Amino acid sequence: MIKFVDLSREFKQLKNKLINDFIKVGLSGQYVNGKNLKKFEKIFSKFIGVKYCVGVSSWTDGAILVFKAMGLHKNTEVITTSNSFIASCGAIIASGLKPVLVDVDETYNTNLKIIKKSVSKRTKVIMPIYLYGRIPEDIFNIKKFCSQKKIFLIEDAAQAIGAKIKNRKAGSIGDVGIFSMHPLKNLGVYGDGGFITTNNAKIYNKLLLLRNHGLKNRDVADSWGYNARLSDLNAKFATTKLKYINKWNKRHFKIAQTYNKYLDSSIIKPRISNLKNSVFHNYVIRLKKRDELKKFLYKNGIETSIHYPIPIHQQKMLINNKIYLPNTEKFSKEMLSLPIYHSLKDKEIKYIIDKVNLFIKK
Ligand SMILES: *Cc1c(COP(=O)(O)O)cnc(C)c1O
């Protein structure tokens, strides 16, 4: 069986280093707000190319802190895409804000043309999702538009650690970048985790307070807050894994290129732009007979997945809003994610390609 993801393979590779990390953090006696969290933040801010990084308990918690730190009023509109993981919209709702869900184009990202149609006086945030690890090609135009209109640009970089465009990394372009280190992301920890990146000192200082009960120090609170910290243990593990991320992302890219080259030409494959702006968190193809192919591959020992079978605007909480997003709805019925992870073996990739192509020929 070729699993859709096999985390135990990576664990086996890193086992000794991780055990060492566990011993070091254990002996430090600091398990939250400790020196390993500080070190993580220093190293990750440098990696992304921003002044500040704040480790948090998950992307979702991080997003809630960010909305709070921006001081947005209730019912402020946040523009984002429907073709995403439920959390990107959930965090907007949990913050008492109004999601305005927009469509995507053939890159599975949104673009400025689509966004502009949904901008209103109440729009205060635009949050493009860097879906499957890809930065939108017109992100700098989106940024310019945001600055002109005094709208915050939040990068949902949950799937895009290390993704680059014109030498800028995901998380260094907007006002704020939010990342997930859920185990299934390109750099995952052992449990939940995430981090926020920014160059804005005011937002940064608020985030530090908000993540730790609003406390300025042990006893004095500056505001109400949350408990949304990244543990020192996961911070340490993430710091160790960061040493591999460029290599792993390159491997993802290579696998995507191989799929693109050898999969049957009747399949719609991701466009690999010469900007190389994707780290291929997922490799997504499209075809009419998606469900049959999925079954066929499973019978042949290949696990696949769908990102995402139900667009957020069609979940039962929003279905009454009667939003119509043609691409999102069409794609949700045709998309299929093939296995892509750095420990996937060449012979497994070949096997997957052979089986997909066999299905098409039949
Ligand atoms: C995974 C993911 C999230 C949520 O991340 P958590 O760390 O699990 O809260 C948000 N947005 C996108 C695009 C994601 O893929």
Asked if residue 129 has its Cβ within 6 Å of ligand 1, the reply is: yes
- Give the Cα separation of 268 and 351 in Å (integer): 19
- Give the Cα separation of 92 and 308 in Å (integer): 19
Question: Rounded to whole angstroms, what are the CA distances from 257 to 141, 232, 253, 272?
Answer: 28, 37, 6, 8
Q: What angle do CA 277, 282, 284 make, to 5 degrees?
A: 95
Does this model's pTM top 0.95? yes
Asked if residue 108 has its Cβ within 6 Å of ligand 1, the reply is: no
Q: How far apart are the CA of 327 and the centre of ligand 1, in A?
A: 22
Tokens of 39: 């070190």
Looking at the chain, the whole-number percentage of residues with pLDDT higher than 90 is 96
Question: Rounded to whole angstroms, what are the CA distances from 360 to 79, 292, 299, 309?
Answer: 38, 10, 15, 22
Q: Hey, is 92 helix, strand or coil? A: helix
Give me the amino acid identity at 139: I
Ligand 1: which of 5, 56, 57, 60 to mutate, judged by most atoms within 8 Å of the beta carbon?
60
Q: In 103-171, which ranges are continuous DSSP H helix?
A: 112-116, 139-149
Place of tokens 């109400």: 224
Output the pLDDT for position 276.
86
- Give the Cα separation of 206 and 77 in Å (integer): 21
Asked if residue 87 has its Cβ within 6 Å of ligand 1, the reply is: yes
Output the pLDDT for position 273.
83
> Closest by alpha carbon to 4, among 343, 359, 357, 290?
343
φ, ψ (nearest 5 deg) of residue 327: -65, -50
Asked if residue 65 has its Cβ within 6 Å of ligand 1, the reply is: no
Q: In 1-58, which ranges are continuous DSSP H helix?
A: 7-28, 35-48
Give me the amino acid identity at 267: I
Low-confidence ranges of the chain (pLDDT < 50): none
- Give the Cα separation of 317 and 268 in Å (integer): 31
Could you tell me if 297 and 359 are in contact, meaning their C-beta atoms sit under 8 angstroms apart?
yes
- Give the Cα separation of 259 and 275 in Å (integer): 18
> Closest by alpha carbon to 336, among 362, 301, 297?
297
Output the pLDDT for position 140.
98
> Closest by alpha carbon to 268, among 292, 284, 252?
284
Q: Hey, is 239 helix, strand or coil? A: helix
